[in-house]
Amino acid sequence: MSNYRVQNPATGEIVETFDEFTDAQIEGAVARATAEHLEWRERSVQERAAIVRRVAELFEERKDELARTISLEMGKTYAEAVDEVEFATSIIDYYGVHGPSLATSYEIPSTIPGTAMIERRPVGPLLGVMPWNFPYYQVARFAAPNLVLGNTILLKHADICGRSALTIEEIMRDAGVPEGGYQALFASHGQIASIIADPRVQGVSLTGSDAAGAIIGEQAGRNLKKAVLELGGTDAMVVLDVDDVAQVAKDGWDFRVYNGGQVCNSNKRMIVLDTVYDEFVAELKKLATGLVPGDPLDMPERGYAPLSSRAAAEKVDAQVQRAIAEGATLEVGGELRDDTSAYYSPAVLTGVGRDTDSYREEFFGPVATVFKVSSDEEALELANDSDYGLGGSVFASDVARAERIASRLETGMTHVNIVAAESAELPFGGVKRSGFGREMGPLGMGEFVNERLKFIAK
């Protein structure tokens, strides 16, 4: 029985199901990706980039359809779904426009008479294992740079994203990506392991939990394959003395509940100086009060969307209830709807003890967890006291003060006076249990590439 389905999280209704691939279908897909790579890599980088730009154009043309698809699949509001399609489009277009220059060979000095060049060559078929929280954006930042480079893509999407997975494949085909250049796979965990082990496949990229990353990373290491792992996060938002507490609280709340709080680099720990803590929490409580469950495709002004699935909502509810049992205070929200839907009301949680299990966990849902500190050093120590290291932000009226703290964050991304700067040209990735490797921006072209030495003697 296949787990691949479209299941409306607003109702629990299964709308569509998809057959899991047979082993023979998986073999055929790997064979096509391998054969196509030999031809795709021989096309000019400009030709590949032009096709990728056409992919971006088709994303824009089909924006409404694409947005409605993921609203139904994983509960994203229509407005946020449109935002995601537009962001994915910008990433694809970025690599279509800038990819050729980022893949250019360059000369390096040599003490041996002759010319030493570093070429940036494709490596071959790649496997992407993608999550449900951003069905298009995650695929775009993996697939677009690698298609421009000349790699071919095998894409295993989340089991609740079957329709969007097939739609992306269709757009790739319509844009001119050859059949073996990009293929959607409805694969099992066992089949994923066999693909990683296949000597024809040259690398794997996973976005998911750190538990999944440990499994995929182990499989990749055992088979000597390059891996990029973008995993979880408990990103800190450090708030020092700020002039407009209400605005900073609103910025923090808006990003924390964006996409139902199901964002890897969401500001999951708000670390607030005692001089502004009470006002900050009071503002969060105002923002979290009076919210009502709404239809993702027709969201009321004070509405909130469901999480991606009933199981996801139940997990977040269980985490919050455990935190309360360990001594935390649920200030507002945190109500799991008593039906088969995935609605969980956005919550504000305070008083989570650092000696509790809850302190170490990632809350992958709309829960703003707030901590009080009494100094900059305490804020920094708390921010770095995490198994994860994706991103982090520091807010202060004194920018230099904020920069000093931000410069000492143990993360892959730091931000000053903005929760998270996100754009096609800005690299994304973390350290510690948040994984390794970078996507987007110039660094996104550097992961699955053969930086080959070319030497011509005099």
Catalogue the active-site residues: 230, 264
Beta-sheet pairing, 226-230 with 203-207: parallel
The amino acid present at 280, given as its one-letter code, is F
Instruction: Please give the single-letter amino acid code of residue 155.
Output: L
Look at the block and give the residue holding tokens 């389905």: 5
Cα dihedral angle (70, 72, 75, 78), rounded to 10 degrees?
Answer: 70
Q: Label the pairing between strands 114-122 and 449-457.
A: antiparallel
Closest among 342, 320, 346, 325 to 266, alpha carbons compared = 346
Residue 364 phi, psi (nearest 5): -90, 65
Show the DSSP H helices in 103-209 as ranges. 137-149, 162-175, 189-197
* Residue 115 CA, distance from chain mean position: 41
CA–CA separation, 257 vs 348, rounded Å?
11
Secondary structure of residue 333 in the 3-state scheme:
coil
Residue 67 token pair: 């947005």
CA distance 287 to 290: 8
- The residue type found at 189 is H
Bridge partner list, 454:
117
CB 99 within 8 Å of CB 86: no
Here the tokens at position 312 are 């996801």
Quickly count: other Cβ atoms within 10 Å of residue 333's Cβ: 23
Distance of CA 270 to the CA centre of its chain: 20
Reduced to 3 states (helix: H, G, I; strand: E, B; else coil), residue 110 is: coil
Which of 434, 450, 445, 59 has its CA nearest to residue 210? 434
β pairing state of 413-416 and 391-395: parallel
Cβ count near 300 (within 10 Å): 11
CA atoms within 13 A on the CB side of 94: 25
